Structure 1
Amino acid sequence: MSLIPTPRTPVPALPPAVEIVVVGGGVMGAATAWQLARRGHEVLLLEQFGPGHDRGASHGTSRIYRLTYSDPRYVRLAAEALELWRELEHETGAGLLTFTGGVDHGDPDSTGPLAASLAAHGIAYEWLDPQEAAERWPGRVFEGRVLHQPDRSGRVHADQAVAAFGAAAVGWGAVVRHRVAVEALEIGGDDRVDVRTTAGTVRARRVVVTAGAWSAGLTAGLIPLPALRVTQERPVHVVRRPGVPSGPTFIHHVTDGWPSSVYGLAAPDGRVKLGFHGVGRLRDPDAAPPPADARTARLLLDYIDRYLPGLDGSTAETVECTYTSTPDAEFALVAQGPLTVGAGFSGHGFKFAPAIGRVLADMATDATAVSPVGPR
C-alpha cells in the first residue's frame, strides 16, 4: 500500500501561489520534494498520474544499488546516497535498501577499471575465477575474472522508495497532488513562473522539473538540455529453478555480440529481474508503447539459457519501463533563472535518488550551486 495518501476525487484545489513547485512525482521528484521540505521550503509536488503508476521509470520492486563505478564522481554520489537512504529509512520506518553483494564479469577493459576505483576509494572487493564464482553461486555461468563487491551492493525497493520520499516530504509540510498534469511553464522573471496545470495555474518562485520522458517537451525553449532519448525497455522477471540461490546482483559486460551489457538482481518475490541496457525502441510517452522487438526478446531468452541455467526461461514475464537517457549516460542537472531540471537518469539513476534530490534542491535555492556530475 502506498505511503502517500491518495487524493480525493475531485482533486483538491491548488494554492494560487507557492514558493517551489516540483513537477513529476517519480523517485527524483519525490526525493527533491523531501530535501526541500525538510529545509523549511514551501513545496508543492505535482504528478500527472496516480500513486504507484507504471507509466514512467520509477515503478516496480527492484533497482540495483552499487558503488561500483569507474568515475569517482559517481562513486562519491552513490556513497552520499547510501547515507541518505538510511536517513530516509530511519525517518519513515520503511525498509528500502537490501545488501546482497554484487558482481561484475566479462570484458576486462570494464571490470579492471571498476576494481581500481573500488581500491582507490577503500571499498572492499575480491577477484574470483569463473569456476570459483560458479561454485559459490550455482546456476550461473561467468565470463572472465569475476569482480565481487560483498557488502555495499544490493537492491532498492522502487515502489516503496517513491512512497517513502513522498510521505517524508508530506511530513515536513510539502503538499502532494496526484492526477494533476502540468501543461505549460511560463517564466515571468527571475522569481516568477506560472505553472499552468489541468487543475488551474499556480505561481511559483522556483520550479524543479523531474518529469522523466516528459521533461524535454515541458521545458523546450526555456532551458538548454542535452538531447534526451526516450525508449521503451522490456526487462523480464524469471523464476529460479528449485534449489538455486538468489545470489548477488550482477552486471555482465558482454564481449560476444549481445545487444548490450546485461544486468540482473533478485526481486523481493524470489524471482530474478534481468535485461539488456538501453536497447528499447524509441517512444512517444503520450502514445501507446511501441511493439516489442521480437529479436531482442529472443536474445534475452538465449542469454538466460547460456549464462543463467539456474533460471527457468519459460517463466519469463516481461515488464515495461520507460527510459529517458542522455547521449553519454551523464545525468542532466541544469539550472537557469527560476527553473531547474533533472533528467536523463534511466538505466542507472535510481540508486542516486536521495543525493540527486539534494543536488536539485541546492541548485533550485542557491544560484552558486553546481552539479557534481554531468558533462565535463
Structure 2
Amino acid sequence: MSLVPRPRTPCPRPAESAEIVVVGAGVAGAAAAWQLARRGHDVLVLERFGPGHGRTGVPQYRRVGDGDPALAAEAWSWWRELERETGAGLLTVTGAVDHGDRAVVAALAEAAAVRGGRVEWLEPRAAAVRWPGREFEGPVLHRRDWTGRLAADEAVAALAAAAVGWGARIRYRTTVKAVDVRGADRVDIRTEGGTVRARRVVATVGAASIGLVAGRVVLPPLGLVQERVLHVTGLPSGPVVTRHIAGSVEYTLPLPDGRVEIGREGNVTAPVPTRWFPGVAATPDPHDRTYTTSPDGAVVLAGASPVAVGAGFAGHRFSLAPALGRLLADLVTDVEDRVFS
C-alpha cells in the first residue's frame, strides 16, 4: 500500500455574492450605490480602475442649475444631503445668468419662480454693464438661487464614501468581463478574479463597455466625444453665464482660483465661442475632456429585468447625478422593460 496520499480535489471557491452589483464607480455608479445602500440594500461596486481615476491634475467643476427643472431641484437637495453626510464642501452658489434662446430662458425663469427663487430680467446693455467682459443677446435672466458650481472630483469621492458609510462595498481594480443573466432574479458577473453572484445589476456603461449589456437592454448607440474648454483670465468672476442656442449651450463658469472657464456643450466640434467674451485674455489655457454621450446628448436610463443601465452623465448632466442615481435605484429594484432618455 502506498504511503503517498492521493491528490485531493480542491474545493471550489464559493462565489462572492451581493444583492445588487453596481458596475462602475464613476459619478453614475457611485450615485446609484449611495441611493441603494441608504435604502438598506446589500451593494457591491466593481470598478476597473483605482480611486480617483480620470483626474487630470486640473480640478474639475460643473455648472449646477440647468437641465430638467424637477431633476435639478431634486439633485440640489441630494447634494446638500451628501455634504451633511460626508462633511465635503461641494456646492458654491454663484447665481446664474441666461440669455439666447428666448423659449429656453423663459422656461428657466418659470421653473425658478415655481420654486420660489429670486429672478430678475435685464436688457443686454444693462447686463453687460453689470457683468463686464461679456456680451448678451435678447432678454437676460438673472437667477440667484440653486445655481452655481459643483466640485466634480470631490463629488465622486463623496458619493463613494457615503455609499460605503451606508454599508456598500467597493472593489477597485476589478475588471468585469461579462454580465450573464441566469434568470429573473440571478445574475453572474464574471471578473478577472472570479464570479460574483447577484440578484440585480446596475451597469453604468460607456462607449467601450456597452457590450457588457448588449442584447439584454435596448440602448441608443453611444459614442465618445471630445470637448475643449478654456481657462481664461481677464473676465471678472461672478455668476455662471449661459448662452442657450439650438442644440447647444455656451457658458462661462467662475473657478475658485479667479479664472473663468469658457466652454460649449452639445456641438463640441465647434470652436470655443470667445467672441461673446471680449474681455478674455489673448492666450487662454485649453483643456480637453472626453466623455460618452448618446446621439441627442440625453441621459440614458434603461432596464430589462434584472439589469438596469445608466449612461451619459457628462456635462451639466453630471450635476443631476444624485437624482439620476435615485432613478437608477428605483429602476433596478422594480425593473420593467423601459428606457428614459
| Partners of 1:232 and 1:35 in 2: CA distance | 30
| Partners of 1:247 and 1:188 in 2: CA distance | 54
Give per-residue Cα distances to partners, 1:11-63, cap 9 Å, x unaligned: xx99611111101111111011111112221111111122222289xx94211
| Partners of 1:168 and 1:279 in 2: CA distance | 35
Percent identical pairs in the alignment equals 52
Q: Displacement of 1:224 after TM fit?
A: 0.8
Determine if the alignment matches structure 1 residue 336 to structure 2 residue 282: no
**Aligned residues of 1:231 and 1:278 also touching (Cα < 8 A):** no
Structure 2, unmatched stretches of 5+, are 1-12
**Aligned residues of 1:262 and 1:275 also touching (Cα < 8 A):** yes
**Aligned residues of 1:61 and 1:268 also touching (Cα < 8 A):** no
Q: 1:77 to 1:253 in 2, by over 3 A?
A: closer
| Partners of 2:46 and 2:187 in 1: CA distance | 15
Aligned positions of 1:85-234 closer than 5 A:
85-234=79-228
The amino acid of 1:41's aligned partner reads: H
Aligned counterpart in structure 2 of residue 246 of structure 1, from 227, 237, 251: 237
TM-score between the two structures when normalised by the length of structure 1: 0.80
| Partners of 2:133 and 2:110 in 1: CA distance | 28
Give per-residue Cα distances to partners, 1:123-156, cap 9 Å, x unaligned: 3311111111111112211122211111211011
**Aligned residues of 2:91 and 2:150 also touching (Cα < 8 A):** yes
Aligned counterpart in structure 2 of residue 364 of structure 1, from 316, 332, 336: 332
Q: Displacement of 1:331 after TM fit?
A: 2.3
| Partners of 2:74 and 2:183 in 1: CA distance | 34
Q: Displacement of 1:231 after TM fit?
A: 1.2
Greater Rg, structure 1 or structure 2? Answer: 2
Q: Displacement of 1:215 after TM fit?
A: 4.6
The amino acid of 2:231's aligned partner reads: H
Determine if the alignment matches structure 1 residue 28 to structure 2 residue 28: yes
TM superposition outliers: structure 1 runs of 4+ over 4 Å = 368-371
The two structures, once aligned, show a CA RMSD in angstroms of 2.5
| Partners of 1:277 and 1:123 in 2: CA distance | 25
SS in 1 for 2:313: coil
Q: Displacement of 1:220 after TM fit?
A: 1.0
Q: Which has the higher strand share?
A: 2
TM-score between the two structures when normalised by the length of structure 2: 0.88
Give per-residue Cα distances to partners, 1:251-281, cap 9 Å, x unaligned: 11248xxx9431221122322222221334x
Q: Displacement of 1:105 after TM fit?
A: 1.1
The amino acid of 1:278's aligned partner reads: G
Q: 1:154 to 1:14 in 2, by over 3 A?
A: farther
SS in 1 for 2:188: strand
Aligned counterpart in structure 2 of residue 311 of structure 1, from 280, 291, 295: 280
Q: Displacement of 1:320 after TM fit?
A: 2.1
SS in 1 for 2:283: strand
Give per-residue Cα distances to partners, 1:222-243, cap 9 Å, x unaligned: 11112223212222222x22xx
Q: Displacement of 1:87 after TM fit?
A: 0.8
The amino acid of 2:251's aligned partner reads: Y
